[in-house]
Amino acid sequence: MEKKSGDAGRKLSRGDFLRIGGGGLAGAALLGAAGCGGGSSSGGSGSGGPVNITVAFGREASGTLAQLIKEFNKQNGGKIKVTWRHMPSDTGQYFNQIQTEFQAQKTNIDLIGGDVIWPAQLAANGWILDLSDRFTESEQKKFLPGPIQSMTWQGKIWGVPWFTDAGMLYYRKDLLAKSGYKNPPKTWDELKSMAEKITKEQGIQNGFVFQGDKYEGGVCDAMEYIWTNGGNVLKDYNTNTVVVGQPPAIQGIATERSMVTSGVAPQAVATYQEPQTEPVFLGGKAVFARNWPYMYGLASQYKMKPSQIGLAPIPVSGNNETASTLGGWNFYISALSDKSKQDAAYKFIQFMTSPENEKKFAIKGGYLPTLSALYKDKELLNKVPTMRNSAAISHTHPRPVSPYYSDMSLKMQEQFNDSLKGTESPKQAADTLQKQLTQIIKQGKNA
């Protein structure tokens, strides 16, 4: 599914390692292979009762995860009991929380339902288990290559893919048809002119909404504008060469800003995350939206009929190729938990990533499966239309796989958001970012 190679197998230099911070490294050394069991939730082996494990995850609006946890607990009654610890829906805030707890070696989390961008940083700090022994290569082959690649770091596998994400263009089929359009836009210019015509003719409040807030999602959206303009942030994820200051990337950032200056998107998109996008599009107040596949699963909650919603790949400028940010959530086992809890956590992972349950999660929740075979399942393809948006799913690009990705992301969040708000020009934002990212990488190498 991946187009770009990614730097998943990149070796960390000593400088890179030290850059992560002494606390993390000391922690890693202390923990050793088996983990120390520090501060984990109570009820382990030997107590006679069930093994209690705490699974961390953010928002799941369809209710399917809660249902699956219930089913697992029922099946394993008396042996394993999973409790869901609700974490912030904003991936950055969620990560900060984990970082604070794991740095202090005081957490009740046994299993992290975590973002696809986290493994390098979690692994480099010694906070999660290397799963290479349990999650063997033959098992890995059952999963989509993109998520597997982004969970592979220093030649080891650190997580099991749960569901995958690709940015998609949502459009209102009914509104397009009424204004005489048969097909969704292929280019950003087409999107603009269609949005202008449809909003005017049919009195719809917004042309296009997407995620432009100063947070991780803002990075995902901005990167799509950059890639679909032929640019990039790093030259390739195998290199440390920063290219965000070059003309195609500037053009990408400018294309994003032009959605607001042209009036196609409201200025408020500079404060939008995913939860703000849903009520606007599904509530009938926008012609187009960019979001992840899960939003489709919420349509019925808003009384929007599936027949009203169309899905398309992310538009492009000129003749460039479409591109979607690779997102997704995976399971990482805490290295701080007791062995019995780690074993129980792996059982829960196997349950969640079984074909039946990935299927349930896709049909009821709208989440894209990570098991390749499910993309041939006719019932699933029929019931989950996002799975048929194959141009989007096959053109995903990873964000940098790096132990200092979160530092890089914070800078990107700031600059992309400043440009979208208009407090900086796209060129200024790109120039600043060029310097800042180069500095972060240099510090990482020299530390």
Least distance to ligand GLC, CB of residue 171, Å? 20
- Please, what is the minimum distance in Å from the beta carbon of residue 327 to ligand GLC? 3
Q: Which is nearer to ligand GLC, 169 or 344 (CB)?
A: 169
* CA angle centred on 219, ends 215 and 221, rounded to 5°: 115
The owner of tokens 């950059």 is 226
The amino acid that residue 183 corresponds to is N
95 or 346: whose CB is closer to ligand GLC?
95
Q: Give the nearest distance from C-beta 204 to ligand GLC in angstroms.
A: 25
Closest contact distance (angstroms) between CB of 325 and ligand GLC is 7
Place of tokens 């027949």: 307
Are residues 346 and 209 in contact, defined by beta-carbon separation less than 8 angstroms? Answer: no
- Give whichever of 44 and 147 is closer to ligand GLC, judged by the CB atom: 147
Whose CB is nearest to ligand GLC? 327
82 DSSP β-pair partners: 53
Which residues 6+ apart lie within 8 Å of 61 measured at CB? 278, 294, 298, 301
Q: How far is the CB of 92 from ligand GLC (least distance, A)?
A: 8
Interacting residues toward ligand GLC by CB under 6 A = 91, 115-117, 165, 216-217, 220, 274, 292, 327-329
Beta strands in 210-292 (DSSP E): 286-291
Q: Compare residues 274 and 278 and give the one whose CB is closer to ligand GLC.
A: 274
For residue 71, the Cα-to-chain-centroid distance in whole angstroms is 26
**Whether the Cβ atoms of residue 354 and residue 227 lie closer than 8 Å to each other:** no
Nearer to ligand GLC, 293 or 310 (CB): 293
- What gap in Å lies between CA 425 and CA 35, rounded to an integer? 49
Q: How far is the CB of 407 from ligand GLC (least distance, A)?
A: 15
- Distance between the two ends of the chain, CA-based, in angstroms? 35
**Cβ-based nearer residue to ligand GLC, 288 or 292:** 292
Residue 242 is which amino acid?
V
Judge whether 53 and 111 are in contact, CB under 8 Å.
yes
Minimum CB separation of residue 116 from ligand GLC in Å reads 5
Q: Which is nearer to ligand GLC, 80 or 384 (CB)?
A: 384
Residue type at position 144 = L
Q: Which of 16, 216 has the CB closer to ligand GLC? A: 216
Spatial separation of the C-alpha atoms in residues 59 and 86, rounded to whole Å? 7
CA 69 distance to own-chain centroid? 22
List beta partners, residue 243: none
Q: Under 8 Å CB-to-CB from 177, ≥6 apart: which residues?
A: none
> Is 328 or 403 the residue whose CB approaches ligand GLC more closely?
328
Closest approach, Cβ 96 to ligand GLC, in A, equals 14
DSSP 237: T
CB of 98 to ligand GLC, least distance (A): 14
Cβ atoms 28, 34 nearer than 8 A: no
